[in-house]
């Protein structure tokens, strides 16, 4: 099994995905253990002094003015976890919980939090045992970080609350820890606070969203090329010299991908022989510009994610010179903005894909294809309602594109009077990505059928490879009406699993 070693300088996006989705094992580096011990010594020294220090010997948030006596500090740390574990609603997905726990461990290991090495090791042990705290949908305002979700995770470390075992059964956390030989932690000064203060949930979802969107943008380039081919469009608009004079990197990459898929096609430009078209419609001709803008948005989001992955997000933080200082680094605005930006880009990509599907189904705009790609139009409805489903998904994505980060609601007696709503931005982006996958799958279904209906014309070798692979995956070709939902589900699984890209790349070489 793959092992991820956590040091003091952050982790990579690949590390996050490996732990969250592939159950990679976690080890703490010697450097991290030493940094943890060094920072803890500073916190212990401050805790022994009579002067109050925020997070060490005081209350929290709006209650920070109260100095907490020595005998009540362990209770204070337990109380903050218990009281902040106040989430409600459906359970959050296992991969999200694993990502946020791992990213909190990443910050703890930076040596800036003052958490003891044994607490960090327990976090790693819980993840390695496949124990997943029960975390709920609602409770985070994205400032101070993802408080409620992280509190439910910290509760599991204490042996309290509920968690899911490696077999998928939810049980009391204490029982699961005992079954795996893990002792619950007894939190000391600052540790409860350090386990709760972070952007880890929204960051984990951003990292996984970027991984999913990388597959989806390549897939969307492929389906756009297939639609162009089925519509007898021209590939001349994809020429690299045209995109070089508007040098957005994403645009050039999308155009190159489409051109690679279309290489060797007998369908492209064929319309010019009999019924010339000066230009294809925007949804066909401008596909690289729209998809390219989304790719460039992803590049910016990836930069933000990389910076956040290298960050130590806590309040207060332990500095190398021995100071423990308050700050606002837990505010989720940088992450929240790009989560919203990605939802906007995804909505636009879904929208243009739906327009191409609709064009394929309309006999007045499809340049010779049968109405709704039906076998016997009138008797058969063909893909009419598949496009309805696609349109419903697009409409939902437009609503999901409304930014969460433009909202704020004050909390904690006006101490936390401006919040990021980054968790909400991340949650709706996950839904948007699910919808976008389905939208691309419907376009794939329509475009492959449209190509097969162009009898007497040979599609590009890459297109042929896609058609063969998708048919082998259970997505049926042209013919009389049948129960359509299973075909659409198979197309969705084909795109979601990366099989569309995998079908093309042996022909085209790696796509950008």
Q: What angle do CA 102, 155, 405 make, to 5 degrees?
A: 60
- 104 φ, ψ (degrees, to nearest 5): -65, -40
SS3 of 2-35: CEEEECCCCCCHHHHHHHHHHCCEEEECHHHHHH
CB 19 within 8 Å of CB 127? yes
> Nearest Cα to 432, choosing from 442, 420, 444, 424?
424
d(CA 462, CA 263): 8
Cβ-based neighbour number of residue 486 at 10 Å: 12
Radius of gyration (C-alpha) of the chain in whole angstroms: 26
Cβ-based neighbour number of residue 472 at 10 Å: 11
End-to-end Cα distance, the chain = 29
Helix (H, G, I), strand (E, B) or coil at 307: helix
d(CA 175, CA 22): 25
d(CA 165, CA 184): 16
Length of the chain: 512
> Nearest Cα to 346, choosing from 427, 383, 385, 400?
400
Which residues is 220 bridged to in the sheet?
Answer: none
Active-site choice (54, 217, 388, 445): 54
> Nearest Cα to 453, choosing from 475, 473, 474, 477?
477
Q: Indicate if 54 belongs to the active site.
A: yes
Catalytic residues: 54
């Amino acid at each position: 099994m793959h092992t991820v070693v956590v040091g003091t300088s952050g982790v990579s996006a690949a590390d996050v995905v490996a732990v969250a989705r592939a159950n990679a094992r976690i080890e703490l580096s010697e450097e991290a253990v030493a940094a943890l011990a060094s920072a803890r010594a500073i916190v212990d020294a401050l805790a022994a002094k009579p002067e109050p220090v925020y997070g060490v010997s005081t209350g929290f948030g709006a209650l920070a003015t109260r100095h907490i006596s020595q005998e009540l500090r362990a209770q204070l740390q337990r109380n903050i976890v218990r009281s902040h574990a106040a989430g409600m609603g459906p359970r959050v997905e296992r991969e999200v919980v694993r990502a946020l726990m791992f990213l909190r461990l990443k910050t703890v290991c930076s040596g800036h939090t003052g958490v003891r090495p044994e607490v960090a090791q327990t976090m790693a042990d819980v993840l390695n045992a496949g124990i997943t705290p029960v975390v709920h949908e609602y409770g985070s305002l994205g400032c101070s970080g993802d408080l409620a979700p992280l509190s439910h995770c910290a509760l599991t470390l204490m042996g309290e609350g509920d968690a899911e075992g490696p077999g998928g059964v939810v049980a009391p956390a204490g029982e699961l820890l005992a079954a795996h030989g893990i002792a619950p932690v007894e939190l000391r000064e600052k540790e409860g606070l350090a386990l709760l203060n972070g952007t880890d949930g929204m960051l984990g979802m951003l990292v996984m969203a970027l991984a999913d969107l990388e597959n989806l943008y390549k897939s969307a380039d492929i389906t756009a090329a297939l639609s162009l081919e089925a519509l007898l469009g021209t590939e001349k608009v994809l020429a690299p010299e045209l995109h070089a004079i508007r040098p957005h990197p994403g645009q050039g990459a999308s155009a190159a991908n489409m051109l690679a898929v279309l290489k060797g096609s007998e369908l492209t430009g064929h319309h010019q022989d009999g019924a010339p078209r000066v230009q294809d419609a925007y949804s066909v001709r401008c596909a690289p510009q729209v998809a390219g803008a989304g790719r460039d948005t992803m590049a910016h989001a990836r930069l933000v994610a990389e910076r956040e992955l290298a960050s130590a997000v806590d309040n207060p933080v332990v500095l190398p010179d021995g100071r423990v200082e308050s700050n606002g680094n837990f505010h989720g605005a940088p992450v929240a903005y790009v989560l919203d930006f990605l939802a906007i880009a995804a909505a636009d990509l879904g929208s243009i894909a739906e327009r191409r599907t609709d064009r394929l189904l309309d006999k007045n705009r499809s340049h010779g294809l049968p109405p709704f790609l039906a076998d016997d139009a009138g008797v058969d409805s063909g893909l009419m309602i598949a496009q309805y489903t696609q349109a419903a998904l697009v409409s939902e994505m437009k609503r999901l594109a409304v930014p969460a980060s433009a909202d704020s609601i004050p909390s904690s007696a006006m101490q936390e009077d401006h919040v990021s709503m980054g968790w909400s931005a991340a949650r709706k982006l996950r839904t948007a990505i699910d919808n976008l996958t389905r939208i691309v799958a419907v376009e794939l279904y329509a475009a492959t059928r449209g190509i097969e209906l162009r009898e007497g014309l040979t599609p590009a070798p890459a297109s042929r490879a896609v058609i063969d692979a998708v048919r082998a995956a259970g997505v049926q070709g042209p013919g009389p009406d049948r129960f359509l939902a299973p075909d659409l589900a198979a197309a969705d699984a084909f795109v979601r699993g990366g099989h569309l890209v995998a079908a093309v790349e042996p022909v085209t070489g790696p796509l950008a």
